[in-house]
């Protein structure tokens, strides 16, 4: 499969693609993390086996994201971990917000990727270059999924005017931005993240219930989608997925 993007976020192909890279020695130890970029992920401590599907088997302890970065020679992944189980994606907001406010993140750019089904396959500098071409302060990849918009139809109407009806919407599995602006976004997003947010196994039932106070306690992606209109056009979506491949 000929994939041009520097990142892949597709749980059905990342393992096979990465295994082929290792088999062929593709780009092994050829890159390094740019000094002005922080790359993060959020995960639970211990095994992530409860979220690993068959096509990702073998990467439940050391994530495939971390493995791909190590293979390429890219050191310095910041792994933000939480011991609470079951895992809830609202934990990401607490972890990242605390990290951003700790003073430990002093780079110009901040990037976050899902740990379980994202790999880098090329130079991370390409991600920065793609981001800068969009003339914005934060860039999210996109997906066809419309999860959550049934609970916020006015937001979807706004977004459909932006995307020209192309059927693609914000995906929070891969995003990058200027650290100062990401802090602004999280100051707003953290208002909707609560410790007892919905677990992934209950997510679609939760959406069908038309929950009160939505998106409080919903998935991280729903919350980002909810606040997107407030921050547009400083926050944009990569509708062509130039940054990260997704089928």
pLDDT tops 90 at residue 32: yes
- The answer to whether residue 1 is domain-embedded is no
Task: Examine residue 58 and state whether it is found in any structural domain, yes or no.
Answer: yes
pTM, whole model, 2 decimals? 0.97
CATH of the domain at 61: 3.90.550
Assess if residue 125 is contained within a domain.
yes
Q: What is the pLDDT of residues 134-150, one digit of tens each?
A: 999 999 999 999 999 99
| Residue 2 covered by a domain | no
In a domain? residue 183: yes
- For 152, the domain range is 7-245
DSSP output for 168-230: -EEEEEEEEEEHHHHHHHHHHHGGG--TTPPPGGGHHHHHHT--TTTTTTS-HHHHHHHHHHH
pLDDT of residue 43: 97
Confidence of residue 76 (pLDDT cuts 50, 70, 90): very high
Q: Using 50, 70 and 90 to split pLDDT, how confident is the model at 55?
A: confident
DSSP tally for the chain: helices H, then strands E: 8, 9
What is the average pLDDT score of the chain?
96
**pLDDT tens per residue across span 157-204:** 999 999 999 999 999 999 999 999 999 999 999 999 988 899 999 999
Look at the chain and report how many structural domains it folds into: 1
């Amino acid at each position: 499969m000929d994939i041009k993007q520097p990142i892949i976020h597709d749980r059905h192909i990342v393992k096979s693609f990465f295994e082929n890279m290792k088999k062929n020695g593709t780009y092994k130890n050829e890159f390094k993390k740019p000094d002005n970029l922080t790359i993060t992920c959020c995960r639970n401590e211990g095994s992530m086996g409860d979220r690993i599907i068959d096509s990702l088997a073998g990467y439940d302890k050391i994530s495939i994201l971390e493995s791909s970065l190590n293979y390429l020679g890219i050191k310095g992944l910041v792994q933000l971990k939480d011991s609470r189980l079951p895992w809830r994606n609202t934990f990401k907001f607490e972890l990242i917000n605390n990290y951003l406010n700790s003073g430990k993140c002093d780079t110009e750019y901040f990037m976050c990727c899902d740990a379980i089904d994202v790999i880098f396959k090329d130079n991370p500098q390409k991600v920065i270059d793609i981001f800068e071409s969009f003339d914005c302060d934060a860039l999210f990849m996109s997906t066809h999924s419309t999860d959550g918009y049934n609970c916020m139809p006015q937001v979807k109407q706004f977004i459909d005017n932006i995307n020209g009806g192309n059927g693609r919407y914000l995906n929070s599995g891969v995003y990058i931005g200027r650290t100062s602006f990401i802090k602004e976004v999280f100051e707003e997003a953290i208002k909707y993240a609560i410790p007892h947010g919905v677990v992934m196994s209950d997510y679609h039932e939760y959406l069908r219930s038309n929950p009160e106070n939505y998106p409080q306690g919903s998935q991280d992606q729903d919350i980002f989608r909810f606040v997107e209109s407030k921050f547009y056009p400083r926050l944009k979506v990569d509708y062509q997925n130039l940054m990260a491949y997704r089928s």
